[in-house]
Amino acid sequence: MSRLEFLESKIVSMEDAKRLIAMWHLKSDKVVFTNGCFDILHKGHVTYLAKAAELGKRLIVAINTDKSVKQQGKGDDRPINSEEARAIVLAALGFVDLVVFFDDQTPQRLIEFLVPDVLVKGADYDPNETDSHSKKYIVGSEIVLKNGGEVVAIQLVEGFSTTSILNKLKK
């Protein structure tokens, strides 16, 4: 298998992810899940993902499809990179085990389907928030907690965001 084929093999369907998680659980591997657009990968993303990976044995990164990004209202020019381009860049990170797409506005259905052991978001979210209408609420937290998992917020790297990078480019 070539190195590119290896990276491509990390980009899987929901069903394949579910099957792999079942195999990992047989080996008592702790599965960590996070999600986002990851449009222009930067130091903030890499630091966040590395810290997420440290919370378990396997890291799954779910990324919004192009359609899902557009539904978020981030701007007509977003995403900058296609879902395939974003997925292959994430798959190139050694600590990312799987990349899975989700087409909805939130990863709720995917989290309910995969039931990871650890659900991770940035510290702009609050693991203790229970009001699903709050901007600090972590989607999918209730299913992870109900199944004995944990929900963790990771401190973000100050000064790094895709929006700030785009604003710099526009100047």
pLDDT for res 71: 87
pLDDT of residue 89: 98
0.85 surpassed by pTM: yes
* pLDDT tens for each residue of 74-83: 778 889 999 9
pLDDT of amino acid 164 = 74
- Domains of the chain, residue spans: 3-170
CATH topology of domain 3-170: Rossmann fold (3.40.50)
What is the per-residue pLDDT for 162?
A: 72
Quick check: 31 and 60 in contact, CB under 8 A? Answer: yes
pLDDT of the residue at 168: 75
Would you state the pLDDT for residue 28? 98
Spell out, as residue ranges, where the chain has pLDDT lower than 50.
Answer: none
